[in-house]
Amino acid sequence: MRYRLALDIGSTSIGWCLLRLDGDDKPVAIIRMGVRIFSDGRNPKDGTSLAVTRRNARQMRRRRDRLLKRKERMLAALTRFGFFPTDEVQRRQLVNLDPYALRKKGLYDALSGPEFARALFHINQRRGFLSNRKTDKKDSDSGALKKAIKDLRDKLAQENCQTLGEWLANRHENRLSVRARLRGRTQKDKAYDFYADRAMIEHEFDVLWAKQSSLNPALFNEAARKELKDILLHQRPLKPVKPGRCTLLPDEERAPLALPSTQRFRIYQEVNNLRLLTPDLREQALTLEQRNQVVQLLEHQGEVRFTKILKALKLPGTTKFNLEDIKRDRLKGNATSAALAKDTCFDERWYSFDHAMQDDIVDKLLNEASESALVSWLQEHTGVDEATAERIANTSLPEGYGNLSRAALDRIVPELIKDVVMYSDAVKRAGFDSHSALSYIQQTGEIMDALPYYGIPLRRHVAFAKDNPRNDEERYGKIANPTVHIGLNELRKVVNALIKRYGRPSEIIVEVARELKLSRERKLEIQREQKERQELNDKQVAEACVVLGLTPTNLDRAKRRELSQKMQLWVELNSKNVADRQCPYTGEQIGIERLLSNEVEIEHILPYSMTLDDSMNNKTVSLRRANRDKGNRTPYQAFGEISQPGYDYEAILQRAALMPREKTKRFAPDGYQRWLKEDKDFLARALNDTAYLSRIAKEYLSLVCHPNKVRAIPGRMTALLRGKFGLNQLLSGTESKNRNDHRHHALDAAVIGITDQGLLQRFAQASASARVKQLDRLVEEMPLPWPSYREHVERALENIIVSHKPDHGYQGAMHEDTAWRLHGNGVVSRRIRPEDGGPRQREIKNKSVIAIASTRNPERHGLDENGSPRAYKGYVGGSNYCIEIWRDEKGKWDSDVISTFEAYQLIRLHGEAEGIKRLRNPSYSLSGKPLVMRLMINDLVRLNLGGNTKTMRVVKIGGNGQMFFAEHNEANVDARNKDDGDSFKYVSKIAGSLQTAQGRRVTVSEIGDLRDPGFRG
């Protein structure tokens, strides 16, 4: 069977649609539709990667483990060398000795072996801050630490203290704090009372040992000194972070952005793309001499304004560049050179180093962890003095990595320098294949029967493999962005399941959500921009309503959209002068009253029928009669190629120059060609998405379908066509998209599947016909792909069972971070610091907590009535692993909730293999009862509710055995359940009512195949 697979790939979803093709490869029927839902691998509270959260917790555990191991090694060594007594009871009695007094006494008088051991063991507890340049820069508190350390050194000198221990002993005698406390709540106010560094600890050890060895050389011998000092000061070297693979040379690591070669590459790449705009708005490339002048400016500065570039090139101040816009008035320069060529660093000597030496210096600055070693290297190899070397070592440089390695840059940058050429041409001149020719399918020509793990064919895009790999991710590498990684893995599962059922697709069309590749920072930035834009829209709509005498809250959606767009486009006519906003074509003034009348309308600069571009970048406001005179033509075709009375094309270009850059270029004689870019026609442009992630998805899917039959399309067409076909009403009953129903992803896929050249050609013709007839709407009548298309979509939607990715792992937060003190009878307390600062206060509550007893020292807190170590603290449980439904001897259902903490304890007690076997025993619960079913979050069940059997998803499991369900297709359920104004509410059951509802756990495959074992009482 020949079919087309349409895919809508989002950050947490994949919608898909299978369309049957006829002999001419035209879609004639919908075979099936479906949706796969999964987590994006990010914390829903702040958008950070869950891997980061897990890594931070793991680092804390490892630091604690290393401290305990260091204490054990120190204890063993002190005992072996005769400092500590071998008897454990005698050792414990030494705890009563004052370690501060011993640390001071040892500087002047002899210490016994046990006294010295007590002092050294105390020093080993907190051995001071060891600066690491690579981590300090990312630590927001490192500045406060370094200041506190410097202040402490000054205090030691002022108070004439030989060592840190003597200074602490003096404070201890005077009943002053001897702990380093961080004060202040804001970054600006943060400060430590004092802080010690590792060098102070090493100095104290050396001074103490020198004094004691002079008094007792037999005990304080050289062998003991070496081993004890090594245990005290040993620091495990940091594991270096391995960069990703070079796009062109996959076996090479990507070069840092701070590397002068990378900075230089970016500068030449951007300046070679720089174009002068002629008076008729055509683009003119820079000459080689002009290009070199601009590069010279950028090489010496962090950024350069376009006005300064014009002066350097001796061009009129009215000249504009193609990259210049309202939001962009400058080019980035060489940030690394600008930083290192400052008077406080290398000054002008930086430019006397050749390019290779500059790269070597920056490489050292980025990778040398020891500041002292770096300072010495800089002095030896660059001739600077120590003070200058220290300033250079602490200079802030750009972070991150580019896409190319040093080896690739060494070949490409010279080609960019030789001539004013584009990057794509420089790649070929440097002897590389084009990026598309480097794909796996182009290299091998192999069409596979199923998608492999993406790291194999997408080798250029993934990180390097790990040593001793345990799975495919570690064996072949993975993309660092967790959302992309999870999305591609789920795509593989869905596509392979469809191939197994229906065979390989004849064609694939895919649309990839833009947010899938965005970093957390970029997502937050976009959210801020959207909020600002929404606030501006609200303000402009309110202003328009004042003129029209309307109430903003009473506007329907269409009217609000019209007013918002009119106001925004009016501002863009001349954002700097509200009194001089003119019709782009006639030059007549457009005031706000005229703007909001029927005399002015929104129009497409490049005809919609020629572009299918309905974005704001292709719209402006003009007088209605001017729009009619322009007709279905570009501004140049209407007013430049031929002369029309009342229109001056040169004046039109001057008015267009006041608009944003993306609009301005569309008025030029070659505006349509520049919009097309390298596409042969507007249909190719509308059907081709060149975004990074879309290219990756296309490359991946080409493994199971011929590359010429795989297309990634832009998303702008989907929403428009969905509305034209009236598909939104199938889920929402209105013209709005229903995002509270997961099936809207499949609905999008149904539109993506018919977005081909034939449909868009008919759409464009209908639009042109409407324009000729001077209709206000874009199309007179929207042609359906085939007559029963809408009915096919509706029927397929009704048969969808949404597939939710299950997560049956025991891993998760065992409990919350805060420890509570136990007072008995469920009463617990903790100390919290008030929001306005001040001393910490005790908070007392009744809470159910996980009680914790000491395992290392069971007798420390005494024994309980059962003779077991008494619990002394508790934590609020983090989550529940599952709920086990079991049957009692009378056939009634009951349940036990297994917390994540309990699941972890089982794994810890029996080992992972045996523990998982017990957690997933198909016949018995952990309590040994006959198991009916075991439910976890996102599991699906079938319930008889009100006489109808429904497929429900487990969304929440309460510690009291209460389960909460939502229908499989319901989205955004948590927020909607909390919203009193929303009719949606969870369905709640306990074990007994679940039995009454004939509940049973069902499974749903990646493509929505339901397996129902039936109710078993």
If you count them, how many residues does the chain have? 1017
- The token duo for 209 is 């040992």
Annotated catalytic residue, options 8, 689, 756, 939: 8
Q: What single-letter amino acid sits at 444?
A: T
- What strands, in cross-sheet order, belong to the sheet with 275-277? 283-285, 275-277, 320-321
Give Cβ neighbours of residue 21 (< 8 Å, ≥ 6 apart): 2, 3, 4, 27, 28, 506, 507
Distance of CA 913 to the CA centre of its chain: 33
User: Distances from the Cα of 138 to the Cαs of 143, 146, 364, 791, in angstroms?
Assistant: 10, 14, 18, 57
- The token duo for 932 is 């009916």
Q: Which residues pair with 142 in a beta bridge?
A: none
Burial environment of residue 725 by CB neighbours within 10 A (0 to 12, 13 to 18, 19 or more) = buried
Q: Which residues pair with 276 in a beta bridge?
A: 284, 321
Burial environment of residue 653 by CB neighbours within 10 A (0 to 12, 13 to 18, 19 or more) = buried
Cβ proximity of 724 and 755 under 8 Å: no
| Range 418-425 contact pairs with CB under 8 angstroms and sequence separation of 24 or more | 419/288, 420/272, 420/285, 420/286, 420/287, 420/288, 420/291, 421/272, 422/272, 422/273, 423/269, 423/272
CB atoms within 10 A of CB 354: 8
Nearest to 483 by CA among 804, 50, 972, 90: 50
- The token duo for 339 is 């930083």
Asked if 670 is an active-site residue, the reply is no
Cβ proximity of 369 and 134 under 8 Å: yes
Distance of CA 766 to the CA centre of its chain: 42
Nearest to 247 by CA among 356, 409, 367: 409
Strand pairing report for 948-957 and 940-945: antiparallel
User: Which residues are known binding-site members?
Assistant: 8, 511, 515, 745
User: Which residues are known binding-site members for Mg(2+)?
Assistant: 8, 511, 515, 745
Annotated catalytic residue, options 604, 744, 792, 815: 604
| Residue tagged 């989550």 (tokens) | 879
Q: What is the CA radius of gyration of the chain?
A: 35
What is the distance between the alpha carbons of residues 613 and 607, in angstroms, rounded to a whole number? 8
Burial environment of residue 632 by CB neighbours within 10 A (0 to 12, 13 to 18, 19 or more) = middle
Cβ proximity of 617 and 663 under 8 Å: yes
Please, what sign has the CA dihedral across residues 249, 252, 257, 261?
A: negative
Strand pairing report for 13-21 and 27-37: antiparallel
What is the distance between the alpha carbons of residues 610 and 988, in angstroms, rounded to a whole number? 55
User: Distances from the Cα of 653 to the Cαs of 280, 584, 674, in angstroms?
Assistant: 6, 8, 16
Nearest to 622 by CA among 569, 672, 543, 580: 569
Distance of CA 78 to the CA centre of its chain: 49
What is the signed CA dihedral for 362, 366, 367, 371, rounded to 10 degrees? 100
Please, what sign has the CA dihedral across residues 671, 673, 679, 685?
A: positive
Burial environment of residue 665 by CB neighbours within 10 A (0 to 12, 13 to 18, 19 or more) = buried
Asked if 25 is an active-site residue, the reply is no
Q: What single-letter amino acid sits at 771?
A: R
What is the distance between the alpha carbons of residues 523 and 481, in angstroms, rounded to a whole number? 13
Q: Which amino acids are annotated catalytic?
A: 8, 604
